[in-house]
């Protein structure tokens, strides 16, 4: 099925296995143990032996390295391994890198994973000794300390420039929570959210409140990628990698993008251009979306970037139940980072696969196409999956 | 309080700040002269490695702001809720500096109430005597309202 040139990746590979551990504020297992459990579960789901794995991909802030994972799980000889930069921006790129490796014959069975103890482990902004990348000298002394503060700064400007409101952000939080209330594996399964709870919750960084922020989670996930040909012999219905892209815009500055000429057009715009250029369908044809939601405002910004609406229209897009099941674009159907688990976006990949297998706890009837995105606001990546 | 962890490219900014001057790196290539921030080794427009530090008027407008609440690092939590602003410079609106809106050069981070801050407000740079109690750390550019 693989062609040449830019179309070389299109449907040439498929996700054939997914696995995950429980999600909780605190799990007894180490990150390494959680990683091994998720990977073995994904391989078992695919019906593929660990000894057949010859490619790995992960993304930065992953503390379980390739050597440790390969040795513990019992992989074969590896001929491809890749670690993508920029934390949550790298989630979808892991699948993209493995798809490229498999499509070009560098490997035959690839595994991507994410393991985190963010719920019970340390957070970088709690440690005064840790200085995050280059721009820190221009921001942290002034008390712009946490990712929430950095995104809140963009959010205030976004609300000011386009007349978006906190109700729009609430629509995002509610859609994710409603889906989590359908998903027994979600941390917020039995915890409904109301507008009153949202509007009266404590501030984290004005204009962002508690419910605009993702969860702190312990847990791990993994998925398995093989060629489309091999996928036909696997246990599960193949979910094809239709298009994939990374995005690092010219003059981009990371989450503190205030030095860019246009800080409100983030990496999503760059990734989207490449993603759609290679696809056989358009945003109109997307049945369900899993959009990186470390913070609620990333959803309207991403809806604009990926072309679901015009610039400045992301807030209004969320009105009228558009993000709910039965709406224009059912969103984050496992509950996402806001309400299922914040595992640096990897749960969004696995949920995209479940939707296209028809096995989601909040199934969109007949879903055949799914957009999955990685963190917006940092150099990012995205996938179009299809049945 | 956190003090700037300075790199080679950023060092001149902090040296000028210690003298109470707000300067921004500019390309020194004749015919180019593009301002750039944060500082970096070469000009993305003409690729010259020659740069100079151009003095700014210190006037600007608030582009956006946030009010952080705990959990925060202890020194910041002690002053929370406080403000952090992004100021776009009058001379070059795409040069935007992160800072704090304060009532005076050495006033605390929370000395201007959040309700008094608005996007578009005109501000002027001031320099405190130094970061922290010892008053011997780097001097940070801070911002006061032109019309308090
Ligand atoms: Zn130049």
Q: What is the pLDDT of residues A176-230, one digit of tens each?
A: 999 999 999 999 999 999 999 999 999 999 999 999 999 999 999 999 999 999 9
> Under an 8 A CB cutoff, do B84 and A207 touch?
no
ipTM of the complex: 0.96
Rg (CA), chain A: 19
Residue A162 annotated as catalytic: no
Taking the C-alpha atoms of residue B57 and residue A99, their distance in angstroms, rounded to an integer, is 53
- Taking only the tens place, the pLDDT of each residue in A9-68 is 999 999 999 999 999 999 999 999 999 999 999 999 999 999 999 999 999 988 899 999
**For residue B103, what are the contacts with CB-CB under 8 A and spacing of at least 6?**
B111, B112, B144, B148
pLDDT of residue A1: 44
> Under an 8 A CB cutoff, do A154 and B64 touch?
yes
Question: Is B15 in the A-facing interface, judged by CB distances under 8 Å?
Answer: no
| Strands, E assignment, chain A | 13-20, 55-59, 80-84, 109-117, 203-206, 208-209, 218-227, 239-247, 288-290, 369-373, 380-386
Residue A292 annotated as catalytic: yes
Residue whose entry in the numeric block shows the structure tokens 């504020």: A25
CA distance readout (Å), A182 to A85, A188, A324, A334: 33, 10, 12, 8
Question: Is B97 in the A-facing interface, judged by CB distances under 8 Å?
Answer: yes
Q: With contacts defined as CB-CB under 8 Å, which chain B residues touch A251?
A: 44
Among candidates B87, B144, B97, B148, which has minimal Cα distance to B120? B87
DSSP character at residue A108: S
Q: With contacts defined as CB-CB under 8 Å, which chain A residues touch B94?
A: 259-261
CB-CB contact of B68 with B84 (8 Å): yes
- Taking only the tens place, the pLDDT of each residue in B45-72 is 999 999 999 999 999 999 999 999 999 9
CA B33–ligand 1 middle distance (angstroms): 6
pTM: 0.95
Q: Vertex A322, ends A387 and A270: CA angle to 5°?
A: 65
> Under an 8 A CB cutoff, do B69 and A152 touch?
no
Task: HSE, CB side, 13 Å, CA atoms: give it for residue B59.
Answer: 6
Question: Is B100 in the A-facing interface, judged by CB distances under 8 Å?
Answer: yes
Max CA separation in chain B (angstroms): 49
- Taking only the tens place, the pLDDT of each residue in A327-348 is 999 999 999 999 999 999 999 9
Nearest CA in chain A to B73: A126
DSSP character at residue A87: G
Taking the C-alpha atoms of residue B34 and residue B95, their distance in angstroms, rounded to an integer, is 11
State yes or no: pLDDT of B3 exceeds 90. no
Question: Is B16 in the A-facing interface, judged by CB distances under 8 Å?
Answer: no
Token duo for residue B96: 């935007």
Cβ-in-10-Å burial (0-12, 13-18, 19+) of B31 comes to exposed
Phi/psi of residue A103, nearest 5 degrees: -65, -25
């Amino acid at each position: 099925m693989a062609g040449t040139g830019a179309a070389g990746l299109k449907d040439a590979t498929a996700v054939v296995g997914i696995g995950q551990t429980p999600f909780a504020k605190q799990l007894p297992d180490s990150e390494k143990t959680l990683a091994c459990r998720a990977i073995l579960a994904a391989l078992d789901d695919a019906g593929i032996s660990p000894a057949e794995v010859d490619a790995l991909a992960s993304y930065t802030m992953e503390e379980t390295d390739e050597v440790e994972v390969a040795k513990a799980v019992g992989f074969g000889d590896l001929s491809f391994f890749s670690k993508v930069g920029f934390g949550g921006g790298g989630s979808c790129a892991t699948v993209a890198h493995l798809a490229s490796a498999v499509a070009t014959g560098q490997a035959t069975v690839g595994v991507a994973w994410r393991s985190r103890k963010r719920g019970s482990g340390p957070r970088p902004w709690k440690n005064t000794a840790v200085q995050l990348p280059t721009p820190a000298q221009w921001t942290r002394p002034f008390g712009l300390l946490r990712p929430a503060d950095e995104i809140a700064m963009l959010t205030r400007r976004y609300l000011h420039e386009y007349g978006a409101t906190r109700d729009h952000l609430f629509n995002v939080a509610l859609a994710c929570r409603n889906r989590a209330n359908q998903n027994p594996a979600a941390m917020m399964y039995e915890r409904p959210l109301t507008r009153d709870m949202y509007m009266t919750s404590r501030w984290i960084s004005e204009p962002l409140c508690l419910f605009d922020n993702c969860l702190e989670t312990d847990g791990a996930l993994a998925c398995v990628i093989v060629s489309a040909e091999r996928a036909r012999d696997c246990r599960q219905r193949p979910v094809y990698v239709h298009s994939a892209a990374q995005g690092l815009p010219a003059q981009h500055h990371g989450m503190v993008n205030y030095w860019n000429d246009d800080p409100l057009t983030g990496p999503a715009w760059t990734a989207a251009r490449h993603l759609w250029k290679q696809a056989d369908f358009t945003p109109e044809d997307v049945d369900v979306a899993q959009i990186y939601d470390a913070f609620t405002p990333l959803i309207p910004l991403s809806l604009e970037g990926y072309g679901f609406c015009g610039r400045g229209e992301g807030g209004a897009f969320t009105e009228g139940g558009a993000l709910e099941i039965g709406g224009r674009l059912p969103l984050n159907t496992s509950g996402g980072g806001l309400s299922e688990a914040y595992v640096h976006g990897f749960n969004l990949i696995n949920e995209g696969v479940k939707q296209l297998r028809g096995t989601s706890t909040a199934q969109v009837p007949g879903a055949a196409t799914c957009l999955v995105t990685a963190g917006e606001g940092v150099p990012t990546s995205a996938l179009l999956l299809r049945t | 309080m956190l003090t700037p962890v300075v790199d080679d490219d950023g060092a001149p900014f902090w040296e000028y700040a210690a003298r109470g001057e707000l300067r921004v790196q500019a390309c020194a290539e004749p015919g180019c002269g593009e301002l750039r921030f944060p500082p970096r080794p070469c000009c993305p427009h003409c690729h010259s490695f020659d740069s100079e530090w151009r003095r700014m008027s210190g006037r600007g407008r608030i582009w956006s702001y946030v009010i952080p609440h705990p959990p925060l690092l202890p020194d910041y939590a002690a002053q929370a809720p406080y403000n952090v602003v992004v100021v776009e410079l009058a001379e070059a609106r795409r040069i935007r500096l992160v800072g704090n809106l304060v009532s005076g050069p050495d006033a605390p981070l929370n000395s201007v109430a959040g309700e008094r801050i608005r996007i578009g407000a005109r501000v002027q740079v001031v320099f405190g005597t130094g970061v922290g109690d010892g008053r011997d750390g780097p001097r940070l550019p801070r911002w006061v309202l032109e019309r308090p």
